[in-house]
Chains A and B, each alone.
Chain A
C-alpha cells in the first residue's frame, strides 16, 4: 500500500504484541452495527505515474493565465523570484507543525518574527500577527476585534468599495452577534462617501484602497473621520501597492488587513493565500491569531516563541479572541521570502511597473472611440473600470478568441455600473505587446457599435 511501510510480518508481530489476532479486532470499540460493510464507493488506487498522467490531463482542461490575462478583482498575477519556490518548498518548513515546541521550531519561529516585522513595516503598524487565512477573513476578524475594543457600540460601517467577498465574509461572521453592518456608498468618483454614517454607535469603519473599482481612496480623511467618531478604522490593503502608496499606519488607521497573495503567491484558483493582520501595540491582547515574540533561554541566548497565547482558543476556549488555530503559515513564509527578496527598492519597482502599465493601457484604451475610463486615469494604481460600447461579456469573448483572458464583468458585483463595465488589471507581468493586442481586439468592437 502506498505510504505504509510495515510489512505483513511487521503487522503480525505487532498484532501479537497487542494481543489480538486480526486488524478487525482492533476496532472492538466500535459497535458492530455501526461498522461499514464492504468497500467505499471510491475508485481503486493509482500508481504515481498513472496519477501523474491523470493530473496532466486534468490540468490541460484549464487555460492558464500565462498568455496574457487582465483579470484581477482581488487576485493578481505577479512575478516572484524562483528562489521563493526553492526556499519555501524545503521539507523542513513544509512538513513541520505549528511551533508549539519552540526549541524544535526556531526556524519557523524566527521566520515569523521577521514576517511580523516586515508586515508591520509595510503597513506602518506596530505589531502584526503570524498570518490569518486570507484577506477577507482577516477583515472579519478585525471587525470582531474592533467590537471587543469598543464594547457597547454595535454598528459596523463597511465601504461598498471593499471587495464583495470581504463584505460577505464580514456579514457572515457577524450574522448572530448582534452587530449591524451598514454599507457606505460609492460616489460618482468611485470613492467612499461616509456622509453621516459614523456616529457614537459605530465600532468599526472598514475601507479598502485601491478599492474594488480600482480607485485610490483618501485614507487619511477616512481614518480621521473614524477617529473623531471613536470608531476603530480598518484598512484593507493590496500589499504590492504599498511599495508606492502611503501606508495605513501613516494615514492614521488603527488596523491594516489584507490578502498576501500579491507577495509571491500563485493565484491557484483562489488559494491558499494568506491574510495580513497588523495594528497598534495597544491592541495586542485583543488580536486574533498567533504571535511570535523574542525572548531568551537559560543561557541568555536569543530565541523566539509563541506569545500572548492566553488570547487563543487552546487556552482561553470560549473566551478566546478568535477561533483560529491552523492559519496559513507556509504561504505567509512565501510572503516573507518574497518581501526579503524585494526589499524596499524591489517592491517600489514592481509597484511603479504596475502603475506604468496601467497608465499606458489607460491612454491607449481611452483613445478608442466609444471606450472611456469610468473614474479617469488618475484615480488608479493597477486596475480600472472601462466603459465599453458593447456588453463586457462580448468584449471578453473577443479577448478569449484572441487567445488571452479578458477582464472582469464588474456589473456582476456592481449592477449599478451596468453590463458594459469591464474591470481590467495590469501588473509588471503584463507586456506592452499584450496591451497592444487588447487594444487591437477592442477597436473593431467600437466601430461595430457605432455602425449599429
Chain B
C-alpha cells in the first residue's frame, strides 16, 4: 500500500469531513446576488472522509524531525523546548474566542497579558518603549527602520538613508533596509570576528541613519566594544539598532540599553520559547528609547483610569505593518514562559545556554575547526576546514547527522565563515544529549577520514534522500493540480 499519496491522490468524489447541521433559516437565495458574482466552477479541493484526513496528516507528521523527538542545534534559531502548557493556554476560550474589536472593557484579560509581556520585555532590554505589533523578527526590523526614518524626518534630517550592516548579519537586515526604502551598506568584520571599527568609522557620516548590529553576533561572540561602537554611531548622528535574535545569551546578564542600543527586536519564537511551527508564526516585538516611543506602530496598549485600552489614535505613529494589535496567541505563550521562569529563571536560561554551547565547543574543537576559538555565548561556529582534503562539506556533515538521529546545525551561515556549521544547543538540553551529539560528531570526523562516501551518500534513513533542488527550479512543479 502506498502511504505516500498526496491529499489529491486520495481524494474521492462525494467525500468530506466538514458537514454542518440543518439550516435554521430559509435557504440562501442565490439569485439575489449581483449578476456574475457566483462562482462558475467549484474550487478543486480534495475530498476526504475524516479517517483518511487523520491518517494523512499523522503520516506527514512522522516525516518531520522536531524538537519533540530530536536534538535540534540549529544555530541562530534557538530551538529550545516549547512548553506544552503554553499551547494549552491558547485553547482557553477566554483567550481563543475573543474578537479584536470587542469593547476594551470586555477584554481586560487579553490586554493585561499584552501589557505584562511588554513590561517584561522593557525590563529585559532596559528600553521603555515596546510594541508587540510586528509579526516576526524581520517585521520588527522593518518597523524599527521606519521608526528611525520618521524620527529623522521629524528632526529635519531627511538625508539620513544609509543603514550600516556588518557582513556577518542575517539576510533579513539588508532586506529590511531595502523594503523600507533605505539603503544597506556593508561593514566588514575584523580578524577577531567582531565589527571592524575602522571600516565602521569610514562609513559613518551625515547620511547614516542606523547601524544594525547583532549582539551577540551570528558568530556567537559578544561585541566587546559595543559601548564604543554606540558612541561612534551616536556621535555621527545615527541610531543603534540591535538585532535581538540572540538575546537568549544575555537574559538578565546585560541589558542592551546599557550599551547604547536605541532600538531592538526580540524574536519571541526564539528567546521566549514560542514554537516555530515549521516556519512560524512568530512575534517580533521591538523595544525603543523613550525618545522614539511615539513613532511606534498603532495600536498601542494604553493604561487609563478604568483599565487598559487599545489606542489606534496615535498621531506620530509610523502606521501599521499588519492587521490588528499583534500575534496575540504567540504573546500569550511568551507570557506563560516569563511567568514560569521569573527573573531568576531568565538568568538561568542565559547561563545554561552559554554553558551548553561552550561545552560543545571544547568537545568538538579537536575534530572540527573553530575559527574563533574563545569563550562563546549561546552558540559557536565551526567548519569543515579539517575535512577539506577528503572533499567533505558542511552539507555532508549535516546530512549524516540526520542519519544519526539529530537535526543538523545551521549550515552556510554566517557568510563570513566558509563551510560554516553554526551550533546552538540551548539551555533546555541535558548533558547526556550533548555527549551523544559529540560522540556522533566525532564519529563523523572519523568517517570523513576513512569512509567519506558514507557522508556523501547521507541521508539514507529518511523518507527521501538528497533532493535535486536544481530541478525544482528548472522544471518548476509548485502545485499538484496545475501539473496534471
Contacts and interface: CB of A to CB of B under 8 A. Distances in A.
Q: Classify chain A: how many residues form its interface, as a range.
A: 35 or more
Contacts of A302: 4, 464
B389 interface: no
Given A14-B355, A43-B339, A269-B98, A58 B109 contact: yes
A166 B58 CA distance: 36
B206 to A, nearest CB: 18
B428 to A, nearest CB: 5
Given A290-B279, A307-B472, A66 B57 contact: no
A301 B465 contact: yes
A107 B61 contact: yes
| Residue with the greatest number of chain A CB neighbours at <10 A, chosen from B99, B123, B354 | B99
B355 A11 contact: yes
Interface string B107-143: 1111011000000100110000000000111110110
A308 B345 contact: no
Nearest to B74: A97
Contacts of B267: 326
B338 to A, nearest CB: 7
A274 B178 contact: no
| Residue with the greatest number of chain A CB neighbours at <10 A, chosen from B19, B43, B108, B259 | B43
Contacts of A113: 6, 478-480
A105 B65 contact: yes
A66 B97 CA distance: 7
Contact of B172 (A31, A87, A325, A356): A325
Contacts of B374: 29
Interface in A122-138: 122, 124, 126-128, 130-131, 133-137
A345 B358 contact: no
Given A46-B339, A269-B107, A350-B20, A102 B467 contact: yes
Contact of B276 (A5, A96, A178, A433): A96
A90 B61 contact: yes
B227 interface: yes
B89 interface: yes
B19 A59 contact: no
A216 B33 contact: yes
Nearest to A11: B355
A399 to B, nearest CB: 11
Contacts of A5: 428-430
A452 interface: no
Contact of B123 (A42, A58, A173): A42
Interface in A35-73: 35-36, 39-46, 48, 51-52, 54-66, 69, 71, 73
22 contacts: A15-B355, A29-B221, A45-B342, A51-B339, A83-B53, A94-B82, A96-B277, A103-B462, A105-B65, A128-B478, A128-B479, A218-B34, A259-B323, A271-B324, A317-B174, A320-B171, A326-B138, A328-B281, A346-B18, A353-B28, A359-B28, A378-B34
**9 tightest Cβ-Cβ pairs between the two chains A and B:** A59-B94, A330-B277, A270-B324, A176-B181, A172-B319, A45-B342, A329-B279, A61-B109, A91-B68
